Amino acid sequence: IGYGDSLYGNDKSVVVRIVYGKTSVLLTGDIHAENEKELVRIYGDQLRSDILKIGHHGSSSSTSAEFLRVVRPQAGIISVGRRNRFNHPSPEILERMKDEKISYCRTDEEGAIIYESDGMKWKKIEWRR
């Protein structure tokens, strides 16, 4: 979903929900809150996912409280560069995740983040030794 004349190329990000057995993950690209609202309007509870790739590197322009309440993830993944010039992720988003009791991990702190599913549950893979 993207707004045709949007000034933001990020709003044309692909959003994918992957389901394997009873597990699911929602990958949101870099969409903004307006796109999240549109996804909620169209898909509602179908967005429910165990894991959510947090939108737009944890920017305050994404991952709205409404979106989190609809998706209801157990865990969030924030893909963000170390010492990035935008200071992502936003403290506002981290607080929002805390308020919604969503655990999260960040690539700037952990490097690659890998989860695997057996179709019943997710397991985070510790790849560093």
Per-residue pLDDT tens over the stretch 73-122: 999 999 887 877 767 798 999 999 999 999 999 999 999 999 999 999 99
Asked whether the beta carbons of 73 and 99 are under 8 A apart, the reply is no
Tokens 């991952």 belong to residue? 63
**In the chain, what's the furthest Cα-to-Cα distance?**
47
Instruction: Note the pTM of the prediction, 2 decimals.
Output: 0.85
Helix residue ranges per DSSP H, the chain? 33-43, 65-71, 91-99, 107-110
Task: Convert the pLDDT of each residue in 108-118 to its tens digit.
Answer: 999 999 999 99
